[in-house]
Structure 1
Amino acid sequence: MILKSSAATLASMGLTSIAVAKDHTAPASESSNNLPPPDEICFMTAVDLAALLRTKKISAREVMTAHLKQIAKVNSKVNAIVTFVPEDQLMAQALAADELIAKGNTTGALHGLPIAVKDLVETKGLRTTYGSLLWKDLIPTQDALIVERQKNAGAIVIGKTNVPELGMGSQTFNPIFGPTFNPYDPSKTCGGSTGGGATALACGMTPLADGSDMGGSLRNPGSFCNVVGLRTSPGRVPLTAVKMANQTLSVQGPMARTVSDCALLLSVQAGPDVRSPLSLADDPKQFAKPLGRDFKGVKVAFIKDLGLPWEKEVIDAAHAQRKVFEDLGCIVEDNEPDMTDANECFVNFRHWQYEAQYGDLLESNSDKMNAYTKWHITEGRKLTGPYLSRLEMKRSALFRRVQQFLTQYEFLIMPVSQVLPFDVHTPYPDQIGDVKMLTYLDWMRSAYYISVAGNPALSVPCAFSKSGLPIGIQIVGRYNADLSVLQMGFAFEQATKIGKRRPAIAV
C-alpha cells in the first residue's frame, strides 16, 4: 500500500501551514514583561499554564500566539493537525478569555488553554472527516459531549488531529490527509488512532488533546510519541451518540505530555450523563486533586510475555522498570492473568460492532471504504446469534479471571506495544520475530487484550530505543480504578522523567 505524501496532500488542501500569529498583547493581564520564550510556553504543562492564566501572569492571547507560532513552525513537518479554526477566531476567543479573567471570572479548569480534538469526534461548525472519503466535507451541527465539556471548561479548540481512516489501526494515515509522522523520527509512524493528537503534543503544538481507544488508540501513539494516554474505564467519559450504547470496547479519554495534565483533562471529560447507560456516577473532581500517594507495600505484577511475540528492545525496556516500582516501595512479582479467548473476543466483537456501524453503507459506498472496513463488515455478517452468545460467555469468564487476578495485585505492568515505531509507509508490521502477523490488528494484542477485559490502562514514557525511538510502559489498574492508575503513573513519571525529552524536530 502506498501512502500519500503529506506535503503534497496538505498543499492541495491549502493546509501546509497557518499564518504566524501577530504579537497580540494582553493589557488585561500582568504578563508581557517577563514571559518565557514561545517555545518554552509551548512545553509548559497545562496545569502550570492554567495557574499562570488564573493569576494573570500570562494571558490567553500570549498562550495562543505561542502555540500558533509553534504550529506554523512544525506542523508541515509532521502533519498532525489537519483542520484549523481560523486564527482571527482563535484570537477573539483568547481575548474573551482574558476579559473574563480581568473581571475575576473563569469558565472552568481549562480556561484559556488551547486543545486539539481528534478527527473522529464531532465539532460544531468545524470539519470532521473521520479520515474517510465518505465524510470528507462533513460540517457537524453540534459538538460531541466530550468537546462540549471541554469548551464549557474554557478550553479553546484550535483544530482537528489526524487519524487512520475511520480510526482503524494504530498507524495514522488516510486518503484525505495522508500520514502523520513520528516527531522523533519522521520516517516512522506515530501510531494511532490518536496519532495526530500524540504528535501535536510531543511537538508543543497544544498542551492538551482528546482521543479515543478501542484497541490501543490512546496508548499506542502515547508510547510511540513519548506522551501520556489514558484508556479510561467504560462509562468514565460517557458516549452519548454511539449506535450501541452498551458496548465496552470503545472509550474516550485524555492525552497530554504529563500524567497530571491527563488527570486535569479527565476531570473535565468525566461525569455521568443519562444518555449513556454505562456512565459512571463518580465525582470527576477527584481527578483534579494532587496525585501524590504512598505505594509502600502495594503489590504489582510484571508480565513475563503474556504469550505474545515482542521486539526484544521493547520487552527489555519494560522489564528494566522493575527497580523503579521497587524503589517506590511496591512488592513486585512476576505474574500475569490468563488471557485465554481475549483475541477471539476482541476481534469478533469488533467485527460485530463495525458491521453495525458501517454495514448499511457498504453496497452503495464500497469504492470509498478501505480494505479494513470491508473485512470487518464481511466477517461481521458471518456471525450468528448462537456464536455471539457463546462468545459473550467467554468474555464474561475472561473478565472474571482478570478481575480476580487483580484482587491479588493492584496493578499489572507490561509494555504498551509489542514493537517499536515502524516505517511510516508500512500499513502494519507483518512479522514480530518469527511470528507472522495475519491481519492489521495482530501486532496490537498487548493493548487490545486489556480493552476486552475492560480495565483502565495508562501509557507512560519509560525509555528510548538505541535508535532514539520512544517506548511506553502500560499500567493496568483494577476495574473502574482510573484514579489509582493515574496516581501510579504520576509516581512512575516523577521517578523517571523520560517524558521530558523533546523531539529535535520541535525545537
Structure 2
Amino acid sequence: MRDVTQLSALELSAKIEHAELTSVQVTSAFLERIEEFNPKINAIVGLRARSDILADARRADESARRGWLHGIPLAIKDLAETKGMRTTFGSPLFAEHTPTHDSLMVQRIKDAGAVLIGKTNTPEFGLGSHTFNPVYGATRNPYALDLSAGGSSGGAAAALAARLVPVADGSDMMGSLRNPAAFCNVYGFRPSWGLVPADPTGEMFLQQLATSGPMGRSPADIAALLQTMAGPDPRIPYDTGVPPDFRDLRGSVSGKRIGWLADWQGAYPCEDGILSLCETGLSAFDQLGCSVEPVMSPFDAMDLWWSWRTLRAWANASKMKETYDDPDQRALLKPEMIWEIEQGLSLSARDVHDASTVRSAWFRKFIELSSRYDAFALPSAQVWPFPVEWTYPKRINGTEMDTYHRWMEIVIPVSLIGLPCLAIPAGFSAQGLPMGLQLFGPRGSDRQILTLGHAYHTFHDWTEQAPDL
C-alpha cells in the first residue's frame, strides 16, 4: 500500500470505513509528516497538542461513523471561527483569540467526523494573495521554498501539496482558492455564490463577493468536501435549494465547448510562459473530445476593475470601520487594509449603486455568452510564484501595478458575479514552477465544471508530481 499520506481523502475514508486503517494510524502518519516538513513551509499553524489530537482520533475509532470525513485529520483556514482553537485571522489584534463557537462551515466539517488538528496559515484578514502575517510569518511554496505559496488560502494549498493534509477548506474573494492552487499544483473550487452559506451574522443581504470552498489534490476529493460544506441554512436569506450530488463525477465530456479568454486581449498582462503553458494544459480537453475555442474579450476590463475596486473597498470598510475608528487598533492593521477602508469610506451611495450596475451588466453579458459555450477558461494567475520576501508584485512585464492587488485582476470576472470556478493544475515552467487554469461557467453549473475537471484529472494528474522536500 502507498504511504498513508499519499492517499486521497476518499481513499482514506474508504479504508477507515472498512477497518483497513484506523483514525489513529492515519492521524499519526500525517502528524509525523507535519513534524518533519511543516517547519520548512509553515503551512500548518496553531497545531494542537499531539496527545489531544490522538485522543480525538481514538474516540473516532471507538464511535459510530458520522460521515465520510470520520477519523480524517484536517486543518481549518485561520479565518474560520473554530471552537476552542486559537483563531487569529493573521492579525495581532486576534493573536490570542479563542472562539467559543464554530462557524457554520466548521460545524458541518465536524459533523462529518473530521479530526481537527490545527489551522492553515493566511494573510492578515485574508487580504492579498500572498500568505504572510505578523502572528505566524510567511508560508513558503513547497515546490520552491524561497517563493510564495499564494493566498489567501496559501497555507491550505501548501499543506495539500506537501501531503500534510488530505483535503482542505479555503475561502475566496479575489482568487484566494485559485491563485494558491495554481502556485502549489493543487485544485481549488470557488462554488456558485450562496451554495456554501456564510455565517448568519451581521449584514446578510448586500455582500456577494466572498465565499468558502474546498481544496484538494483531485476534483473527486473537492466534490466530496463540497457536499459537506454546501446546502441551505434557514438563517440565511439566500436559499439555493438542496445541492445536487457532487460525489460521482464520472461521465463523458465529449462535445463540450470551452471558450479560451487568454489574457482578455491584453487587458490582463501575464508573465512570459503562462499563456503558452495554459494553452498546452487546455489541449487535454481537445483530446477528451471537447472543443477549445478562442473568445474575444466580452466586456470592458476597466469597467470590471472599477466595479470590483468599488464594491471590494465598500465591503472592507463596512466590515472594518469600528476597528479603523480606534487609533490603537488601527495602528495594528496592515497598510493595505487601511487603504481599503479609506477607499471605502470615501464612497457615496451612488458610487456603490453604479458599481453594482456595471456588475449587473457583466452578469447579463456573461449569460448571453454562456448560451454558446459550456465553460470558459482563464489563467489562474498573471505571475509565477514570486519571492516570499515581497509584499506583492509591483510590475508585470514592465507594467506598473497601481494598487497592491492589481496583479490579481484576472480573477475578478468570476468573483464579481459569483460564478463557480475550478482552479486546475496546468503543469510546470522550465524552472519547475507550477501554474494553473480557471475553468468556470454560469451560476449553478458547479457539477458540470467539476465533471470537466474530473475528466481532465483522469487524463493527466499533475498533482502526482509532488514537491521534493
| Bin of the TM-score, shorter chain as denominator length | over 0.9
- Distance between the aligned counterparts of 1:337 and 1:61, measured in 2? 52
**Tell me, which stretches of 5 or more residues in structure 2 are unaligned?**
none
**Counterpart AA for 1:54:** E
Please tell me whether the aligned partners of residues 215 and 447 of structure 1 are also in contact (alpha carbons under 8 angstroms).
Answer: yes
> 2:44: which partner in 1?
81
Mapping 1:32-431, distance limit 5 Å: 36=1, 40-100=3-63, 105-246=64-205, 247-283=207-243, 286-288=245-247, 290-306=248-264, 307-340=267-300, 341-364=303-326, 365-431=329-395
- Distance between the aligned counterparts of 1:493 and 1:244, measured in 2? 39
- Distance between the aligned counterparts of 2:182 and 2:26, measured in 1? 27
> 1:480: which partner in 2?
444
Once the two structures are TM-superposed, the CA of residue 377 in structure 1 deviates from its matched residue by 0.8
**Counterpart AA for 1:350:** R
1:200-253 Cα deviation digits (max 9, x unpaired)? 111111111111000000111001001110011111110024533232110001
Once the two structures are TM-superposed, the CA of residue 137 in structure 1 deviates from its matched residue by 0.7
- Distance between the aligned counterparts of 2:239 and 2:337, measured in 1? 28
Please tell me whether the aligned partners of residues 182 and 423 of structure 2 are also in contact (alpha carbons under 8 angstroms).
Answer: yes
- Distance between the aligned counterparts of 1:429 and 1:241, measured in 2? 36
Once the two structures are TM-superposed, the CA of residue 304 in structure 1 deviates from its matched residue by 3.4
Matched, 1:462 2:420: no
**Tell me, which stretches of 5 or more residues in structure 1 are unaligned?**
1-35
- Distance between the aligned counterparts of 1:337 and 1:330, measured in 2? 21
Counterpart of 1:211 in 2: which secondary structure?
strand
Cα RMSD of the aligned pairs, angstroms, is: 1.2
**Counterpart AA for 1:453:** I
Please tell me whether the aligned partners of residues 310 and 351 of structure 2 are also in contact (alpha carbons under 8 angstroms).
Answer: no
- Distance between the aligned counterparts of 1:170 and 1:98, measured in 2? 38
- Distance between the aligned counterparts of 1:486 and 1:282, measured in 2? 17
**Counterpart AA for 1:202:** A
**Counterpart AA for 1:332:** V
Once the two structures are TM-superposed, the CA of residue 453 in structure 1 deviates from its matched residue by 2.4
- Distance between the aligned counterparts of 2:166 and 2:339, measured in 1? 37
> 1:442: which partner in 2?
406
- Distance between the aligned counterparts of 1:338 and 1:453, measured in 2? 14
Once the two structures are TM-superposed, the CA of residue 321 in structure 1 deviates from its matched residue by 2.5
- Distance between the aligned counterparts of 1:329 and 1:478, measured in 2? 21
**Counterpart AA for 1:389:** H
- Distance between the aligned counterparts of 2:418 and 2:106, measured in 1? 24
Once the two structures are TM-superposed, the CA of residue 337 in structure 1 deviates from its matched residue by 4.8
**Counterpart AA for 2:218:** T
More deviation, 318-327/455-464: 318-327
Once the two structures are TM-superposed, the CA of residue 357 in structure 1 deviates from its matched residue by 0.5
Moved >4 Å (runs of 4+): none
1:325-373 Cα deviation digits (max 9, x unpaired)? 1111112211145232211111111100000110111132121111011
Size of the aligned set, in residue pairs, is: 462
Please tell me whether the aligned partners of residues 235 and 276 of structure 1 are also in contact (alpha carbons under 8 angstroms).
Answer: no
Please tell me whether the aligned partners of residues 95 and 135 of structure 2 are also in contact (alpha carbons under 8 angstroms).
Answer: yes
Please tell me whether the aligned partners of residues 60 and 94 of structure 1 are also in contact (alpha carbons under 8 angstroms).
Answer: yes
Once the two structures are TM-superposed, the CA of residue 449 in structure 1 deviates from its matched residue by 2.4
Please tell me whether the aligned partners of residues 337 and 405 of structure 1 are also in contact (alpha carbons under 8 angstroms).
Answer: no
Once the two structures are TM-superposed, the CA of residue 435 in structure 1 deviates from its matched residue by 1.3
Percent identical residues: 37
TM-score (norm 1): 0.89
1:455-484 Cα deviation digits (max 9, x unpaired)? 111111111011111111111122121111
**Counterpart AA for 2:211:** V
Once the two structures are TM-superposed, the CA of residue 78 in structure 1 deviates from its matched residue by 0.6
